[in-house]
Amino acid sequence: MTRPGIRPGTRAVITGQGRAAPEPIAQEEIWEQVFAPRLNGDRVARQIFLRAGISTRHAAVDPRLVDVSGWSTGDRMRRYVTEARPLGREAATRALEEAGIDASAIGLFVVVSCTGYATPGLDIMLADELGMAADVRRLIVGHMGCYAAIPGLQAAADFVRAQEKPALLLCVELPSLHLQNSDDPSDLQTVVSHALFADAAAAVVIEPDAPSGLELLHTTAVTIPGTEELMTWDVTAHGFRMGLSPKVPDVLAGQVGDAIGGLVTKFGYGMDEVAGWAVHPGGRRIVDVVEERLHLRPDQVAESREILDTYGNCSSPTVLMVLESIRRGRVPRAGEPLVAMAFGPGLTLCSALLRTAC
């Protein structure tokens, strides 16, 4: 059946996904060994850490062993390249292997990150290491934050439809490199960011007209006026410093229903037809808000909570990791829609509508 809003033409289909992360660290250990001494065991800070919905997370530079808080931004960027290359290579290799294609077939390589920069960048380094062709096109999506995977997906899908060649999207984030030298427990925005963010990489292969996988139908973006100061990511002499207002979940609560409802119904689906909800777990309250406002059952956001619990908030890779968990665990039937959504600076809510290829 042809749905409203779906035009005939080359389809962009996700055929492979992969993820990679450093070794896990228990959240309680991070609190006890790293932040409790810094914050004098502050009771409120302890509650923020231990009630964040996170059991373990991952750090390329273990904060129990190495204190990066005094490092210059230059030192952090150099370490970013050292750590991001193997993580990105591992995630990309896994995605290519699942898709069953060689890196030399990739026509566009999209690399997303807001936690590190270098020129030549990861796009050039990894294209060479993975064995991509010399004429592969490359695109860097930088400093967009947690929602950046969605515009990255859109750019890759547009290329696939227009050029009828495969694309590879790679999101690599190392927030652990931006630990700030703060011993003020009243600085709750910094405490929250230190409690939530962790390191990971996630990759997606998109192919033209593949017979199986997840077809990307459409993406949307909504930026809420007057909210620019609620979530920030500022470049300083000592890394990037996050500003994260506690108002964020409540502001998003007022937007998510209309934004997602409009996306789904535009294509002739009902909200009750959505077979999977890949909600970016920016924090426990974010998932709570989406569950409440979209009238979802707890099992429909179980993958988001599981990723938060075992990985933390990994910025841009996180929504792709949730989507991968849904693909592997639920096996939606042919033609069923799925929704992915992520939130970040702006405040911006980005979403994607996908369906199981048939």
Q: Whole-angstrom Cα distance, residue 9 to residue 243?
A: 43
Task: Please tell me the predicted confidence (pLDDT) of residue 2.
Answer: 56
Average pLDDT of the residues in 299-311: 97
Q: Whole-angstrom Cα distance, residue 296 to residue 301?
A: 7
Q: Do domains 14-208 and 212-356 have the same CATH topology?
A: yes
306: phi then psi, degrees, rounded to nearest 5: -70, -40
Domain layout of the chain by residue ranges:
14-208, 212-356
Burial of 342 (0-12, 13-18, 19+ CB in 10 A): buried
Give the SS3 label for residue 157: helix
Tokens representing residue 42 in the block: 């502050």
Q: In what order do the strands lie in the sheet with 167-173?
A: 137-142, 108-113, 167-173, 200-208, 12-20, 214-223, 348-356, 337-344, 276-279
Domain 14-208: which CATH number of 1.10.260.40, 3.40.47.10, 3.30.1490.480, 2.60.40.420:
3.40.47.10
Average pLDDT of the residues in 43-54: 96
For residue range 153-191, what is the model confidence (pLDDT) as tens digits? 999 999 999 999 999 999 999 999 999 987 777 788 899
Confidence (pTM): 0.95
Tell whether domain 212-356 is in CATH 3.40.47.10. yes
Q: Flag the least confident range among 44-48, 264-268, 329-333, 339-343.
A: 329-333
